[in-house]
A = this chain, B = another copy of it.
Amino acid sequence: MFKLKHLALDTLREHVIVVHEQAVRSGNLGFNPLDRVRVFALENFSSAPREVTGVLNFCRDTLVASDEIGVSEEAFHDLGLAEGSAVGAELATAPRSVDLVRAKLNGKRLDKAAFASILADVARRRYSRVELSMFVLGCALRRLELPELVDFTHAMIEVGEQLNFGPGPVADKHSIGGIPGNRTTMIIVPILAALGLTVPKTSSRAITSPAGTADTMGVLADVGLSPQRLYDVVRKVGACIAWGGALQLAPADDILITVERPMEIDTEAQMVASILAKNKTAGATHVALDLPVGRSAKVRSIAAAERLGATFRSVADQIGLRVDVVITEARGPIGRGVGPRLEALDVLAVLRREPDAPIDLREKSLYLASRIIEMMGAAPVGAGYRAAQQQLDSGAAQRKFEEIIAAQGAREFPAPAPFVTAFPSPADGRIKEFDCLEIARVAKRAGAPANITAGLRLLKTVGEIVEQGEPLFEIHAESRSQLEAAKSYAVSHSELVVFGF
């Protein structure tokens, strides 16, 4: 028997249990570090069994006493017991569903029930990071065929909550990501909402990028809305641009992403299931899907984009979602800013019709909006672009965006980052491309997205002719060491800019 101790340790979706080494030895508990251990209430005050499973660490000092057991932040919350409660601890076995993951690794096909049991255990945080890695790599390396991917997506949807904004059609827009500064969502949503469409947009924070839509919107407004507040905002102004992370939509996906992120490998099936499940559970009926193609984008060729688009459409059909796949070209970041604050400036410039607003961001947003408008019948085919343009140029979209911000809760716009330096062009010539991945890495080294004012701002863009030594972009950082780290990375990775025709 132990006394429960709350360790305010944030371990990002992996529960950690800490026991004193002495307790393990004298109690003959048979525990080893990294074992999976179940902690459970010894007093039976409610009908529901209170227990939590986590990964064991040994302690040799005073972090926990030998009659205590420490559990990390989220585990303590899940357990729902008071500090000092009497708890027991025992070795727990891996969830049964891990056997299904092994079957997948051995090349077997999984069915919907198998995915459902895996994802339910994942969502309850019963998987260790190694087991999560097994599942992600199993799906990545043992390609999922279409029916299997449909089953996976269905299971992803059914584990967790679903929002409902019906009975009418509900618009959504999604990009597969990989293009820095690609903040079209924040322009498309107010355009569509100004036209009277329902657009309850939920976005993620950055996963591998220097900013996600939720990070950039978070510069301007509160994005951490509860389901109730989200419904209120959408009822009031017809739209929102919120962070999806607090809503328990496809929660297994959020956990899988914690291991996919450091992997940085192509997990196409997961991407399809993840995006469609998020859209479906967020209550969408019609979705425009932005598939950027480019040498440094996630998809490298039009042929690959068409294959991926066909997969998206087939799975979407099976789960009752209308999807318009829009293949776009990417030869570098969209807009000028990379990083939350700098991207927000681009969005505001487009919505405010400022003369130096980035044209590429404006045009891409109008084009994607036009596809949704036509798909949803809000304008005749061929007239969608004009309808979108009217909402933007009349200022209606800007006003709608201000309504959304006010409804979510406005934030004060931050001052620029204190440390700024220019990156000189390594050569003379015409800029043919920026490498999206390398640009993202520079911005991340500068501190984005955690430091919201950090990132970079392009001074020259694709197609422009520059001289060696002329500044190509500014790096913004909140500390001198981050500025130096970003700049030295950029200098040693001059392939981040490609010259030519």
A interface, CB within 8 angstroms of B: 6-12, 16, 18, 21, 27-34, 57-61, 63, 72-73, 90-91, 94, 102, 105-106, 128-134, 137-138, 140-142, 258-259, 262-266, 445, 447-448, 450-451, 454, 478-479, 481-482, 485
- 15 other contacts beyond A106-B265, A133-B259, with CB at 8 A cut-off? A8-B59, A16-B57, A28-B447, A28-B451, A30-B447, A31-B450, A63-B63, A90-B481, A94-B262, A102-B264, A128-B262, A130-B132, A130-B262, A131-B263, A134-B263
Contact of A7 among B29, B61, B91, B454 (CB under 8 A): B61
A62 CB to nearest chain B CB (Å)? 8
Q: Are A60 and B8 in contact (CB under 8 A)?
A: yes
Q: Are A10 and B61 in contact (CB under 8 A)?
A: no
Decide yes or no: A34 and B12 within 8 Å by CB, A130-B262, A141-B142 being known contacts: yes
> Sorted from nearest, which 10 A-B pairs have the closest CB atoms?
A133-B133, A8-B60, A8-B61, A10-B58, A30-B450, A12-B33, A30-B447, A28-B478, A12-B34, A137-B137
Q: Which residues of B contact A130 (CB under 8 A)?
A: 129, 132-133, 259, 262-263
Copies held by the complex: 2
A12 CB to nearest chain B CB (Å)? 4
Decide yes or no: A106 and B266 within 8 Å by CB, A18-B9, A30-B482, A129-B129 being known contacts: yes
Q: Which residues of B contact A31 (CB under 8 A)?
A: 450
A102 CB to nearest chain B CB (Å)? 5
A343 CB to nearest chain B CB (Å)? 17
Q: Are A140 and B105 in contact (CB under 8 A)?
A: yes
Q: Which residues of B contact A264 (CB under 8 A)?
A: 102
A-B contact pairs, 26 of them (CB 8 A): A6-B61, A7-B63, A9-B57, A9-B58, A11-B57, A12-B34, A28-B451, A30-B448, A30-B450, A30-B454, A30-B482, A90-B481, A90-B485, A91-B445, A105-B265, A106-B266, A129-B133, A130-B132, A130-B133, A131-B263, A133-B137, A134-B263, A134-B265, A137-B141, A141-B141, A141-B142
Q: Are A137 and B105 in contact (CB under 8 A)?
A: yes
A381 CB to nearest chain B CB (Å)? 41
Most-contacted residue by chain B among A128, A130, A132, A454 (CB, 10 A)? A130
In the bound assembly, the distance between CA atoms of A120 and B421 in angstroms comes to 36
A214 CB to nearest chain B CB (Å)? 14
Q: Are B262 and A131 in contact (CB under 8 A)?
A: yes
The chain B residue with its CB closest to the CB of A62 is B8
The chain B residue with its CB closest to the CB of A417 is B28
In the bound assembly, the distance between CA atoms of A405 and B395 in angstroms comes to 88
Contact of A33 among B10, B30, B479 (CB under 8 A): B10
Contact of A258 among B27, B34, B91, B454 (CB under 8 A): B34
Q: Which residues of B contact A445 (CB under 8 A)?
A: 91
The chain B residue with its CB closest to the CB of A6 is B61
Q: Are B12 and A141 in contact (CB under 8 A)?
A: no
The chain B residue with its CB closest to the CB of A260 is B130
In the bound assembly, the distance between CA atoms of A18 and B9 in angstroms comes to 8
Q: Which residues of B contact A91 (CB under 8 A)?
A: 445
In the bound assembly, the distance between CA atoms of A11 and B131 in angstroms comes to 17
A404 CB to nearest chain B CB (Å)? 27
Q: Are B105 and A9 in contact (CB under 8 A)?
A: no
In the bound assembly, the distance between CA atoms of A470 and B94 in angstroms comes to 32
Most-contacted residue by chain B among A16, A263, A478 (CB, 10 A)? A263
Q: Are A73 and B90 in contact (CB under 8 A)?
A: no
A34 CB to nearest chain B CB (Å)? 4
In the bound assembly, the distance between CA atoms of A133 and B135 in angstroms comes to 11
Q: Are B479 and A28 in contact (CB under 8 A)?
A: yes
In the bound assembly, the distance between CA atoms of A141 and B133 in angstroms comes to 13
Q: Which residues of B contact A27 (CB under 8 A)?
A: 479
Q: Which residues of B contact A32 (CB under 8 A)?
A: 12, 450
A414 CB to nearest chain B CB (Å)? 12
The chain B residue with its CB closest to the CB of A132 is B130
Q: Which residues of B contact A90 (CB under 8 A)?
A: 481, 485
In the bound assembly, the distance between CA atoms of A100 and B101 in angstroms comes to 25
Q: Are A105 and B141 in contact (CB under 8 A)?
A: yes
In the bound assembly, the distance between CA atoms of A485 and B93 in angstroms comes to 11
Contact of A63 among B8, B21, B102 (CB under 8 A): B8
The chain B residue with its CB closest to the CB of A141 is B141
Q: Which residues of B contact A12 (CB under 8 A)?
A: 32-34
In the bound assembly, the distance between CA atoms of A7 and B33 in angstroms comes to 15
In the bound assembly, the distance between CA atoms of A30 and B141 in angstroms comes to 33
A182 CB to nearest chain B CB (Å)? 21
In the bound assembly, the distance between CA atoms of A28 and B450 in angstroms comes to 8
